[in-house]
A and B are shown apart, each in its own frame.
Chain A
Amino acid sequence: QKEVEQDPGPLSVPEGAIVSLNCTYSNSAFQYFMWYRQYSRKGPELLMYTYSSGNKEDGRFTAQVDKSSKYISLFIRDSQPSDSATYLCAMNSGGYQKVTFGTGTKLQVIP
């Protein structure tokens, strides 16, 4: 079993839709959870970062963490064509521990 599992996609939605991206993990030591967005031929860029269980909102993006279920989600409201990218979940247990990434979900928002 992989430490981090991510819905493979690809996901295609119409502009304005609500998008839900999900990851599960098996390592209960993970404490820090991140979502990265990666455009084609670019490096990943940090989108959301959270430590605790619950929701964290930033504009149209909401990150949700449920440590009891080992499940994290990223919601995108009012999706835009510019949101078309691959979304990677990432997590680690803090300190010098490595950051482990999911395989990524490719999202396409159709105008």
Chain B
Amino acid sequence: EAGVAQSPRYKIIEKRQSVAFWCNPISGHATLYWYQQILGQGPKLLIQFQNNGVVDDSQLPKDRFSAERLKGVDSTLKIQPAKLEDSAVYLCASRWDSRDEKLFFGSGTQLSVL
């Protein structure tokens, strides 16, 4: 079974530039998450999708962050414009559905904002 795929692996941009991350969850997984992990901290939920609908985006900085999962499969997270404090690893995770608590993570995209 293929795992959660994320790209790019690394990204370096200057502040005020835009950036996009892509995630393809495990096949058949209805629930998809984007987490932000700042160095030395645990993952912090940005947004949760159930199929192509948003379940929780309460911690997403909506003035600069956006995410979509149009066909209920892969997802894109965008930051525009980026700030220095956005430097972090962006993790995508998926799970089968709400009855299964186990999350499976991708390797993440490490973003450096200079």
> Are B104 and A101 in touch, CB under 8 angstroms?
no
Q: How far is the CB of A97 from chain B (nearest CB, A)?
A: 8
Interface size on B, residues (CB 8 A): 25
> Are B105 and A104 in touch, CB under 8 angstroms?
no
Residue picked from A6, A98, A102, most chain B C-beta under 10 Å: A98
- CB proximity to A under 8 Å, residues B71-111: 91, 93, 98, 101-108, 110
- CB proximity to B under 8 Å, residues A72-110: 88, 90, 92, 94-96, 98-104
Map CB proximity to A onto B25-52 as digits: 1 under 8 Å, 0 otherwise.
0000001010000001111110010100
Q: How far, in angstroms, from A104 to B104 measured CA to CA in the complex?
A: 17
Please tell me the size bucket of the interface on A.
20 to 34
Write the residues of chain A forming the contact surface with B, with a CB cutoff of 8 angstroms.
Answer: 4, 6, 32, 34, 36, 41-46, 49, 51, 88, 90, 92, 94-96, 98-104
Q: List 22 A-B contacts (CB under 8 A).
A: A6-B42, A32-B101, A34-B101, A43-B4, A43-B93, A43-B106, A44-B43, A44-B91, A44-B103, A46-B103, A46-B104, A49-B102, A88-B42, A92-B101, A96-B31, A96-B50, A98-B56, A99-B45, A99-B101, A100-B45, A101-B43, A103-B42
Write the residues of chain B forming the contact surface with A, with a CB cutoff of 8 angstroms.
Answer: 4, 31, 33, 40-45, 48, 50, 55-56, 91, 93, 98, 101-108, 110
